[in-house]
Chains A and B, each alone.
Chain A
Amino acid sequence: MSDVKITIIDREGEAHTIDAPTDMNMNLMEVIRSYELAPEGTIGICGGMAMCASCQCYMLNLEHMLPEKSIEEEDMLDQAFFVEDNSRLSCQIPITHELDGLEIRIAPVSEE
Chain B
Amino acid sequence: MIKTDILIIGAGPTGLFAVFEAGLLKMKCHLIDALPQPGGQCSEIYPKKPIYDIPGFPEVMAGELVDNLMEQITPFEPGFTLGERAENIEKQKDGSFIVTTNKGTKHQAPVVVIAGGLGSFEPRKPPIKGIQKYEEKGISYFIKDPEIYRDKKVVIAGGGDSALDWSIFLADVTKEVSLVHRRKDFRGALDSVEKVEELSKLGKINLITDAEVVDLKGKEKLESVLIRHKDEARGEELKTTDYFIPLFGLSPKLGPIANWGLEIEKNAIKVDNSYDYQTNIPGIYAIGDVNTYKGKLKLILCGFHEAAIMCQSAYQRINPDKKYVMKYTTVSGVNGFDGSKKEAKREVIKSIN
Residues of chain A with a CB closer than 8 A to B268's CB: 40-41
Residues of chain A with a CB closer than 8 A to B46's CB: 46, 49, 51
CA of A40 to CA of B269, assembled, Å: 13
Residues of B within 8 A of A (CB): 41, 45-46, 49, 118, 122, 124-127, 158-160, 181-183, 185, 187, 248-249, 251-253, 266-268, 298
CA of A45 to CA of B41, assembled, Å: 11
Residues of chain B with a CB closer than 8 A to A67's CB: none
A–B pairs, 5, beta carbons within 8 Å: A42-B267, A49-B49, A52-B251, A79-B124, A81-B127
Contact, CB under 8 Å: A79 / B159? yes
Answer yes or no: A83 CB below 8 A from chain B CBs: yes
Contact, CB under 8 Å: A81 / B126? yes
Contact, CB under 8 Å: B125 / A45? no
Q: Which of A47, A51, A74, A82 contacts B127 (CB 8 A)?
A: A82
Contact, CB under 8 Å: A40 / B267? yes
CA of A83 to CA of B248, assembled, Å: 13
Contact, CB under 8 Å: A79 / B118? no
Q: Which of B45, B125, B181 contacts A110 (CB 8 A)?
A: B125
Contact with B along A28-67 (1 / 0, CB 8 A): 0000000000011110011101011000000000000000
Answer yes or no: A111 CB below 8 A from chain B CBs: yes
Answer yes or no: A12 CB below 8 A from chain B CBs: no
B287 to chain A, nearest CB (A): 18
CA of A52 to CA of B187, assembled, Å: 15
CA of A51 to CA of B45, assembled, Å: 7
Residues of chain A with a CB closer than 8 A to B45's CB: 46, 49, 51
The residue of chain B having its C-beta at the shortest distance from the C-beta of A52 within the complex is B251
Contact, CB under 8 Å: B124 / A45? no
B248 to chain A, nearest CB (A): 5
9 tightest Cβ-Cβ pairs between the two chains A and B: A41-B267, A40-B266, A75-B187, A112-B125, A81-B127, A110-B127, A78-B159, A79-B248, A79-B249
CA of A47 to CA of B46, assembled, Å: 11
Q: Which of A47, A83, A112 contacts B182 (CB 8 A)?
A: A83
The residue of chain B having its C-beta at the shortest distance from the C-beta of A36 within the complex is B266
CA of A110 to CA of B128, assembled, Å: 10
Residues of chain A with a CB closer than 8 A to B159's CB: 78-79
CA of A47 to CA of B51, assembled, Å: 12
B21 to chain A, nearest CB (A): 24
